[in-house]
Chains A and B, each alone.
Chain A
Amino acid sequence: MKLSIQINEGPYQHQAADSAYQFTKAALEKGHEIFRVFFYHDGVNNATRLAIPPQDDRNITQQWTELQKEHELDLVVCIAAAQRRGLLDEDEAKRQGKDANNIAEGFRISGLGQLIEAGIEADRLVVFGD
């Protein structure tokens, strides 16, 4: 089955971030196709490479980066939600005159249209959040 994933909650604060990752990984292992993973609301914070969780804890962003590499996942961070929360890639940082960027490897920033397209193209859109 072709699936799209939407994540609405931030890492460590809410289990939705972990569940989304575990679900995506399990779906891939079962041979399903993941059309896109879309990060919205505080979910965009899953994409920061500046988070430093304790060493004996899971690193959620790192998990996504590795899964992306392995399966060439399309990890999309909503630009409007990201801008509000201070999440920038290099181009966006330059464009907005900011002195740093913080997006992790394997993620890309794009518009909300990507979420709608994810809903249109996939057989199921699975939403993680409250």
Chain B
Amino acid sequence: MAKKFMFVNRKAPYGTVYALESLEVVLISAAFEQEVALVFMDDGVYQLTKGQQTDGIGMKNFSPTYSALGDYEIKDIYIEKESLEARGLTLDDLQHLVWEDEDEDWAEKDSIHLVSSKELAAVMADQEVVITF
């Protein structure tokens, strides 16, 4: 039976390895056919920013991988509104992530849910396994 897994990403994409190693777990969890949701909050919202350029720091830009999450049946991606606003960002600064609904002739649907801290708390309370990175 599938469990509800939530991965909470709170750190910037570079500077530490947490974001990259979080993504590795997320992709594996999908292979286990669990119900997977992701959260991006605090500096974690930077993980989804568009146009990342990592040549100057000599690291692999792994941000294109996020656009594949839909193919892994990961279609619930929560962005905390307060974290975005505190950093002067809007949803337009982030990648537009979608999934294809098999039941509706593969219609593209938004994976991203912009939620307040309070709303996020309610979603979090509904999970069975919460892993924070």
Contact = CB atoms under 8 A, between A and B. Distances in A.
Nearest to A40: B21
Nearest to B133: A8
B21 A119 contact: no
Interface band, chain B:
10 to 19
B17 A115 contact: no
A117 B29 CA distance: 9
Interface string B63-102: 0000000000000000000000000000000000000000
Interface string A58-72: 000000000000000
Contact of A116 (B18, B29, B130, B132): B29
B25 A125 contact: no
Among B17, B34, B131, residue most surrounded by chain A Cβ atoms (within 10 Å): B131
Majority-rule SS of A interface residues: helix
Nearest to A4: B129
Contact of B24 (A8, A112, A117): A112
B46 interface: no
A119 B5 contact: yes
Interface of B: 3, 5, 17-18, 21, 24-25, 28-29, 31-32, 34, 129-133
A120 B24 CA distance: 18
Given A112-B28, A115-B28, 12 more contacts: A40-B21, A40-B25, A41-B17, A80-B24, A84-B17, A112-B24, A113-B28, A113-B31, A116-B25, A116-B29, A119-B129, A120-B129
A6 B132 CA distance: 10
B31 A120 contact: no
Interface string A1-23: 00000101000000000000000
Contacts of A125: 129, 131
A111 B3 contact: no
B37 to A, nearest CB: 13
Given A113-B31, A116-B32, A120-B32, A41 B21 contact: yes
B125 to A, nearest CB: 14
B132 A112 contact: no
Q: Which 8 A-B pairs have the closest CB atoms?
A: A119-B129, A112-B28, A116-B32, A116-B29, A125-B129, A112-B25, A120-B3, A41-B21
Contact of B18 (A41, A80, A84, A120): A41
Nearest to A6: B131
